[in-house]
């Protein structure tokens, strides 16, 4: 078959072959190249993630690619895009690189055009052009052929029992799904030979996700494959084969054998696809969601009043479907923004109420974030977005109240909480925005350069210790916090002289 792939991928294949080894392009790269070719999309531009397999051992691979690195126990050697370009003798600014694709979004904080920007939103440190061009691209990964593997406790191949394979056929039969069990061998020019022992092409044409051989065997080997089946279904807009889906339902409880780090990685990939709500529905139908997000399942059947005409579960999925942000943390916040409604449901004076659901919801979401092994920053963002999602604006709100809102949310999270609000509105059947929301956005823009945090004050802890001849202690934070509250009300107070006078009064109280 005639295909076009990137020069960097061809260089890896040719380097391995010139070294006397076999070399194939494998896995998702083959799948996506064929899909792109069938849709008249240039694969060399569309495909960014390339994986290769070879009969060369990791040591032999590293001799051919000196700047590569080998950090796992499964025979995979990786090389960064930048290092590969350097080995090819190509400067990053001379290479024709694929461009990142982002969903179009209207942002309130436009760093390129804003005339006033708070220093906390300043540009990051300078990086080289080569890094800027390539640091977002995934590494190229080269894996030695593997043979039939012994799996430990439904998780992953046991590295102590790992054996190298001798042929490409051995390697392909251990893979998860037929559409991922194809390999391309380079012949000449743009011609490739396809190895497809499990009818992967046929399943691609049928838009079907089917395991290699018996699905129960594949899922009992590595239960994470059940999540991967759902991820591929929503990522590619394919259907899961009936026998494969039945096996997922049968073995759903095996997902509890998988580490939360691996579950989190696949789960976030699911909600980062073009069809995140469908992904959540599939997880629920398969019986997997009860082990990953049982808190969300509790929202089923929880009725809502007011402008809502669906239960909390349906509204949460509808909101997720409408979320304009590609960021999986923002999408998870959108999915969980009303998760506190189930435990706070009450009927008062014949009306449904959910008092303080955003407070309880943020705490529930934080537990979810811990379970999914989020970083501290991810946990904090998720907590803030859910805790603050009920913000309410009236024209008579003071500038100080606007600044306080921006401070509580964090300037770096303003766009995210507005994306959540848009998704919440659309998921309720309302319009994307309102005149109040647009007015609030404009007023926030007007406040972008005003002091928002203690470090924005014209004096600091050292100034106070010098003035009062005191050692560091809790008193410093108390005075600085009170000064900030004064400045939030009146930014004109933010001078060293005025703040020191206020500090003296506070200290004498």
What are the contacts of 85-88 at 24+ separation with CB within 8 A?
A: 85/8, 85/130, 85/134, 87/11, 88/7, 88/8, 88/11
Cα–Cα distance measured from residue 138 to residue 305, given in angstroms and rounded to the nearest whole number:
46
Question: So what's the pLDDT on residue 178?
Answer: 97
Q: Does pLDDT of 106 surpass 70?
A: no
Beta partners for 152? 156
| Domain chopping of the chain, boundaries | 7-121+133-203, 207-292, 321-446, 454-508
Side-chain-side CA neighbours of 180 within 13 Å: the count stands at 19
Segment 216-222 mean pLDDT: 94
Alpha-carbon distance values, 438 to 286, 392, 407, 422, 487 (Å): 41, 12, 19, 11, 26
Cα–Cα distance measured from residue 167 to residue 171, given in angstroms and rounded to the nearest whole number:
7
Cα–Cα distance measured from residue 169 to residue 145, given in angstroms and rounded to the nearest whole number:
9
User: pLDDT tens digits, residue range 387-424?
Assistant: 999 999 999 999 999 999 998 999 889 999 999 999 99
Query: CB of 407 within 8 A of CB of 488?
Result: yes
For residue 390, which of 346, 321, 347, 340 has the smallest C-alpha distance?
Answer: 340
Query: CB of 216 within 8 A of CB of 251?
Result: yes
Question: So what's the pLDDT on residue 189?
Answer: 84
Predicted confidence band of residue 126 (pLDDT cuts 50, 70, 90): very low
7-121+133-203: CATH topology is Beta Polymerase; domain 2 (3.30.460)
Options 3.40.630.30, 3.30.930.10, 1.10.110.30, 3.40.50.720; which CATH number does 207-292 get?
Answer: 1.10.110.30
Query: CB of 12 within 8 A of CB of 52?
Result: yes
Cα–Cα distance measured from residue 269 to residue 262, given in angstroms and rounded to the nearest whole number:
11
User: pLDDT tens digits, residue range 83-105?
Assistant: 998 999 876 555 566 665 554 45
Cβ-in-10-Å burial (0-12, 13-18, 19+) of 245 comes to buried
Question: So what's the pLDDT on residue 160?
Answer: 59
User: pLDDT tens digits, residue range 471-497?
Assistant: 999 999 999 999 999 999 999 999 999
User: pLDDT tens digits, residue range 4-20?
Assistant: 888 899 999 999 999 99
| DSSP letter for each residue of 54-111 | ESS-HHHHHHHSTT-B--SSSSEEEE-HHHHHHHHT--TTTS-PPPP-------SS-T
Strand 239-240 and strand 208-209: the pairing is parallel
User: pLDDT tens digits, residue range 68-88?
Assistant: 998 766 779 999 988 998 999
Q: Does pLDDT of 152 surpass 50?
A: yes
Cα–Cα distance measured from residue 177 to residue 311, given in angstroms and rounded to the nearest whole number:
36
CA triple 394-399-405, angle to 5 deg? 75
Question: So what's the pLDDT on residue 123?
Answer: 43
Q: Which tokens is 200 given? A: 């992967």
Query: CB of 15 within 8 A of CB of 65?
Result: yes
Question: So what's the pLDDT on residue 73?
Answer: 66
207-292: same fold as 7-121+133-203? no
Q: Average model confidence (pLDDT) for the chain?
A: 88
Q: Which tokens is 302 given? A: 């929880």
> Best-predicted range by mean pLDDT among 109-113, 151-155, 254-258, 446-450?
254-258
Sign of the torsion angle spanned by Cα atoms 265, 170, 25, 243: negative
**Total count of residues recorded for the chain:** 509
């Amino acid at each position: 078959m005639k295909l076009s792939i990137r020069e960097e991928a061809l260089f890896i294949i040719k380097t391995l072959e010139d070294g006397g080894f076999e070399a194939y392009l494998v896995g998702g790269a083959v799948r996506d190249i064929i899909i792109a070719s069938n849709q008249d999309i240039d694969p060399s531009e569309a495909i960014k993630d390339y994986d290769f397999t070879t009969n060369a051992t990791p040591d032999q691979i590293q001799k051919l690619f000196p700047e590569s690195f080998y950090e796992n126990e499964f025979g995979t050697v990786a090389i960064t895009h930048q290092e590969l370009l350097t080995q090819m003798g190509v400067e990053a600014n001379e290479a024709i690189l694929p461009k990142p694709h982002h969903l179009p979004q209207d942002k309130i904080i436009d760093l390129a055009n804003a005339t006033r920007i708070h220093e906390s939103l300043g540009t990051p440190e300078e990086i080289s052009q080569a890094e800027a061009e390539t640091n977002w691209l995934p590494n190229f990964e080269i894996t030695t052929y593997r043979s039939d593997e012994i799996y430990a406790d439904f998780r992953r191949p046991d590295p102590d029992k790992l054996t190298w394979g001798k042929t490409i056929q051995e390697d392909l039969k251990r893979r998860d799904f037929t559409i991922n069990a194809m390999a391309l061998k380079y012949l000449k020019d743009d011609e490739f030979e396809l190895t497809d022992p499990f009818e992967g092409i046929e399943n691609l044409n049928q838009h079907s996700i089917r395991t290699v051989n018996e699905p129960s065997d594949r899922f009992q080997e590595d239960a994470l494959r059940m999540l991967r089946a759902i991820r591929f279904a929503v990522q590619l807009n394919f259907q899961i084969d009936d026998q494969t889906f039945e096996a997922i339902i049968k073995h759903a409880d095996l997902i509890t054998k998988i580490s939360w780090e691996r579950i989190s990685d696949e789960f976030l990939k699911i909600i980062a696809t073009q069809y995140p709500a469908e992904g959540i529905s599939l997880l629920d139908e398969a019986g997997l969601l009860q082990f990953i997000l049982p808190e969300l399942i509790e929202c089923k059947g929880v009725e809502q009043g007011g402008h809502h005409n669906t239960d909390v579960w349906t509204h949460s999925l509808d909101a997720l479907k409408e979320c304009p942000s590609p960021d999986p943390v923002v999408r998870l916040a959108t999915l969980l923004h009303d998760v506190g409604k189930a435990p706070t449901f009450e009927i008062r004076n014949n009306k449904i109420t959910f008092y303080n659901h955003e407070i309880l919801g943020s705490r529930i979401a934080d537990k979810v974030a811990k379970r999914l092994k989020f970083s501290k920053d991810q946990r904090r963002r998720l907590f803030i977005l859910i805790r603050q999602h009920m913000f309410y604006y009236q024209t008579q709100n003071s500038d100080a109240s606007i600044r306080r809102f921006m401070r509580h949310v964090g300037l770096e999270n303003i766009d995210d909480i507005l994306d959540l609000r848009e998704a919440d509105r659309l998921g309720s059947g309302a319009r994307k925005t309102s005149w109040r929301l647009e007015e609030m956005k404009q007023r926030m823009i007007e406040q972008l350069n005003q002091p928002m945090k203690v470090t924005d004050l014209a004096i600091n802890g050292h100034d106070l210790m010098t003035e009062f001849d005191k050692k560091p202690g809790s008193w410093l934070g108390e005075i600085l916090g009170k000064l900030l509250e004064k400045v939030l009300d009146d930014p004109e107070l933010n001078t060293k002289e005025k703040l020191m006078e206020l500090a003296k009064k506070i200290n004498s109280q």
